[in-house]
Chain A
Amino acid sequence: MIETAVNSRNTLLRLEDMTKAFPGVVANDKVSLSIKSGEIHALLGENGAGKSTLVKMIYGVLKPDAGQLYWTEQPATVGNPAAARRLGIAMVFQHFSLFDSMSVLENVALGMEKGIDHVQLEQKIVEISNRYGLPLDPSRHVYTLSVGERQRIEIIRCLLQDPKLLIMDEPTSVLTPQEVSKLFATLHRLADEGVSILYISHKLDEIKALCESATILRGGKVVDSVSVVNETPSSLAAKMMGEELQLSEKASHTEVGDVRLELNGLTHIARDPFDISLKNICLKVYSGEIVGIAGVAGNGQDELLKAINGEDLCSPADSVKLDGKACADQGPNQRRALGMASIPEERLGHGAVPGMSLLDNSLLTAFQRLEFLEHGFIRYDRCQAFCKSVIDNFNVKSNGMGAQAASLSGGNLQKFIVGREINQKPTVLVVSQPTWGVDAGAAQTIHDGLRDLAANGAAILVISQDLDELMSISDRVAAICAGVLSESFPMEAISIEQIGLMMAGVDPSSELKDQVSGRLLNQLAGQSEESPGNPP
């Protein structure tokens, strides 16, 4: 089914001087790289370095402005994804190309080149999923599946086409550590069978564990092509970022004050079949601390944020308390008046109105706390001063206060939104995915802002899927799984594997006493040691 043991390591794919420009930016500037058969090749770079643009050109989603693609050393043109698939190129997308309201079987069928009998296809899915350890029930609907399971659909869809090259765009950003080690085992197995893998990531330890060689992009240009064995994570980081990044010290504000945010049996039943119900969530966040909530996407993070910031009302009223005041039955404006601020995950459309200026966007959440309204009229002078301070403090690159929110780059808009909330000096801040899709420099600005706010006595709840982020800024961490929040643990008392277990809904404190789950942990740890071994 898949070409076995390719001994002669031929060059499978070679790119020569691929160039693609978008209005105002050259996303790829004469990018060249080559991948051999059976090689796991990393494409490494910061957000915005041009990785996605490059693979979209390989997969035929975008047309290059210039440059040539060679497939098994023959010049080839990939006009569209179907042409790519005919060559043997398959791709697992970062944002999955799945259809929520359809079954696994239908989703796989849609990715197939030709129509195929559904009974036959179902057998093939079961066969492939058994062979590669990707358990999946073909009759389930996608919206009922976890993100890890959704990714399996995409991988199986690719494998059914006998690919020669599998492109994976940041596949681990949504997985638990245990799921990551399973994925790596699958990828190694595929590489052993002769499939080449182009692995896109900015996570250096993963690349070190998985890949043989790496092409490093910065600002749309190839900085270096290296053999991973000869590199260390820090040498890769230096090449990726161009400059050694000053990692800020974790502030040591261990003295915590009063309870500022209290969730007391918070329960919210989802009305929408695509949403998660929150079940009996209890958590106290104290003045001066940052509490992190880990979890795989789609486990109730959005719902939790909405229940805390007042977009969703819950009962009884005292299931959410801000500074001791019961407010679960009050809307966002009342809660903001009590000192709460929140930053949702979705920047455009939820955190900011895309078509409005930065000035108007700052008015929208700050008008109450900073008294921008007087006798029903807007005091634009105050609003402008505030907006200017946000732009200056957080180094937001834009065409001034009048710039449309949608015109800012993702990182700059995120800095603006975070800054807008922080500069209101809230006593409780709830933030979801504070640095999602943001480059390292902007992430640091945001993290510094959060730390300063906590140091000044605010209670901060950070909901994030990025474990590295949570490890670096939180004082305590808990995990959410299927709408249930785990107990929280001080950061220094917990390992990344234990957080992984919590994300999967297993209680890590019990395993210390309990032999059975202790063995489970060992198994998982053993798996992660053996599978991503260094390539030969």
Chain B
Amino acid sequence: MGEVLIAAVLTIITAATPLVYASIGEMISEKAGVLNLGVEGMMLMGAVCGFAAVNATDSSAIGIIVGMLAGSGLSLIFAVLVLGFQATQVATGLALTIFGIGISSLIGQDLVGIAYDGLPKLPIPGLSAIPVAGKLLFNHDILVYGSFVLILVVSWFLRSTRSGLILRAVGDSHDAAHAIGYHVIRIRYMAILFGGAMSGLAGAYLSLSYSPLWIENMSAGRGWIALALVVFATWRPWRVFTGAYLFGGITILQLHAQALGIGVPAQVMSMLPYVATIIVLVLISQDHNKIKLNAPACIGKPFHPTS
């Protein structure tokens, strides 16, 4: 029984990891005041390019890096359009998702059906030998460890560093930040590129570790879940992390429950993760003041530096 439980928890971690990457990346972009609805598209780009790179070079490191670059490359298009040409962020983001779905299918045409062993597990010497905890926490691939590090670094960055303060300032009032002398556009470029890189990483995790293979449209809506998590988690990193694990957890549990043959229609069970995540996050975000304090006030608004 213990073995089954451990296996279940391990799959929860693998289900949550891509959500952590994508939503943390999107959170940074939104904290700077940019709403990028293209997460889904950037994830798919990361997934297909990462997989193609591994297939070509047989190096998982190169696959991961290429996945990141592909995500940020797509986000660069978005950044140029919304920051350079002042295009509407919502429409541009939607277009980016549609574009990402199409181009990833095109790139991945010949990759469908190719198998890959998945990223190597990197057990941490000593620690991984601890019963139960060792298997749960210290026997993962690089991207799972990376997601733990990411959440620690990002929450420290936003809370305690000057750069984090500036990032939040730009999202809170770009006019004030500009008047004081910060480069609003430059900071937003960096935030968007970071968000893109993280989405790309999330996609690379899907094709290199979670599945691991390439299927068209394999992100299956996770980009949208990541977007929703950021909002429901009121732009706070640890809540994003919790939300990602909650969603991943219920997804896995309902799959197991379906396998056990519970007399509930499969469609209802499949709804559970969405419903549960929304309910929990709505419950923990009851305090309007807290939301107001954490929500970037300038989100989605174009910035005209001349005014």
The answer to whether A and B come from one shared complex is yes
What residues make up the interface of A, taking CB atoms closer than 8 Å to B?
60-61, 80-82, 85, 93, 96-102, 106, 109-111, 115, 141, 271-274
B289 close to chain A: CB less than 8 A: yes
In the A-B complex, the 10 residue pairs with the smallest Cβ-Cβ separation, listed nearest first, are A81-B181, A97-B176, A97-B179, A115-B162, A273-B289, A99-B172, A82-B181, A101-B293, A273-B292, A110-B169
List, in ascending order, chain B residues with CB within 8 A of A100's CB: 172-173, 297
- B288 near A272 with CB under 8 A, answer yes
List, in ascending order, chain A residues with CB within 8 A of B294's CB: 101
Complex Cα distance A358/B169, Å?
36
- B165 near A141 with CB under 8 A, answer no
List, in ascending order, chain B residues with CB within 8 A of A271's CB: 288
- B181 near A85 with CB under 8 A, answer yes
- A273 near B288 with CB under 8 A, answer yes
**18 further contact pairs, Cβ within 8 A, besides A97-B175, A97-B176:** A81-B179, A97-B173, A99-B168, A99-B169, A99-B172, A99-B177, A100-B173, A101-B293, A101-B294, A102-B165, A106-B165, A109-B165, A110-B165, A110-B180, A111-B180, A141-B293, A272-B292, A273-B288
B166 close to chain A: CB less than 8 A: yes
- B172 near A102 with CB under 8 A, answer yes
Contact with A along B157-187 (1 / 0, CB 8 A): 0000010011011001101111111100000
List, in ascending order, chain B residues with CB within 8 A of A97's CB: 173, 175-177, 179-180
List, in ascending order, chain B residues with CB within 8 A of A60's CB: 181
Contact with A along B265-288 (1 / 0, CB 8 A): 000000000000000000000001
- A102 near B169 with CB under 8 A, answer yes
Complex Cα distance A141/B297, Å?
15
List, in ascending order, chain A residues with CB within 8 A of B289's CB: 273
23 pairs from A and B in contact (CB 8 Å cutoff): A60-B181, A61-B179, A81-B181, A93-B179, A96-B176, A98-B173, A99-B173, A100-B173, A100-B297, A101-B292, A101-B293, A101-B294, A101-B295, A102-B169, A102-B172, A106-B169, A109-B165, A110-B180, A110-B182, A115-B162, A141-B293, A273-B289, A273-B293
CB distance from B183 to the nearest CB of A (A): 9
CB distance from B31 to the nearest CB of A (A): 11
- A80 near B181 with CB under 8 A, answer yes
Complex Cα distance A80/B180, Å?
9
Residue in A closest to B295 when the chains form the complex, CB atoms: A101
Residue in A closest to B166 when the chains form the complex, CB atoms: A110
CB distance from A432 to the nearest CB of B (A): 22
List, in ascending order, chain B residues with CB within 8 A of A109's CB: 162, 165
Residue in B closest to A274 when the chains form the complex, CB atoms: B292
| Interface SS, B side | helix
CB distance from B41 to the nearest CB of A (A): 30
Residue in B closest to A110 when the chains form the complex, CB atoms: B169
Complex Cα distance A64/B176, Å?
21
Q: Which residue of the partner chain, among B172, B175, B288, contacts A101 with CB atoms under 8 Å?
A: B172
List, in ascending order, chain B residues with CB within 8 A of A141's CB: 293
Complex Cα distance A271/B292, Å?
11
Complex Cα distance A8/B288, Å?
57
- B184-217 CB contacts (< 8 Å) to partner A: none
List, in ascending order, chain B residues with CB within 8 A of A81's CB: 179-181
CB distance from B40 to the nearest CB of A (A): 29
Complex Cα distance A100/B293, Å?
8
List, in ascending order, chain A residues with CB within 8 A of B177's CB: 97, 99, 110
Q: Which residue of the partner chain, among B162, B165, B176, B292, contacts A98 with CB atoms under 8 Å?
A: B176
List, in ascending order, chain A residues with CB within 8 A of B172's CB: 99-102
Of the listed residues B169, B177, B181, the one surrounded by the most CB atoms of chain A closer than 10 A to its CB is: B181
List, in ascending order, chain B residues with CB within 8 A of A82's CB: 181
CB distance from B170 to the nearest CB of A (A): 10
List, in ascending order, chain B residues with CB within 8 A of A61's CB: 178-179
Complex Cα distance A93/B166, Å?
19
Complex Cα distance A36/B140, Å?
68
Residue in A closest to B181 when the chains form the complex, CB atoms: A81
Complex Cα distance A272/B182, Å?
29
Complex Cα distance A98/B172, Å?
9
Complex Cα distance A106/B293, Å?
13
List, in ascending order, chain A residues with CB within 8 A of B176's CB: 96-99
Of the listed residues B168, B176, B292, the one surrounded by the most CB atoms of chain A closer than 10 A to its CB is: B176
List, in ascending order, chain B residues with CB within 8 A of A96's CB: 176
Of the listed residues B162, B177, B288, the one surrounded by the most CB atoms of chain A closer than 10 A to its CB is: B162
List, in ascending order, chain A residues with CB within 8 A of B168's CB: 99, 102
Complex Cα distance A40/B67, Å?
60
CB distance from A10 to the nearest CB of B (A): 27
CB distance from A89 to the nearest CB of B (A): 11
List, in ascending order, chain A residues with CB within 8 A of B295's CB: 101
Complex Cα distance A97/B180, Å?
7
CB distance from A83 to the nearest CB of B (A): 8
Complex Cα distance A74/B21, Å?
53
CB distance from A216 to the nearest CB of B (A): 26
Complex Cα distance A96/B297, Å?
16
List, in ascending order, chain B residues with CB within 8 A of A85's CB: 181
CB distance from A298 to the nearest CB of B (A): 15
Residue in A closest to B160 when the chains form the complex, CB atoms: A118
CB distance from B14 to the nearest CB of A (A): 36
List, in ascending order, chain A residues with CB within 8 A of B175's CB: 97
CB distance from B182 to the nearest CB of A (A): 8
Residue in B closest to A271 when the chains form the complex, CB atoms: B288
List, in ascending order, chain B residues with CB within 8 A of A110's CB: 165-166, 169, 177, 180, 182
Complex Cα distance A111/B289, Å?
25
Residue in B closest to A98 when the chains form the complex, CB atoms: B176
Complex Cα distance A109/B172, Å?
15
Complex Cα distance A271/B162, Å?
32
List, in ascending order, chain A residues with CB within 8 A of B179's CB: 61, 81, 93, 97
Residue in B closest to A85 when the chains form the complex, CB atoms: B181
List, in ascending order, chain A residues with CB within 8 A of B181's CB: 60, 80-82, 85
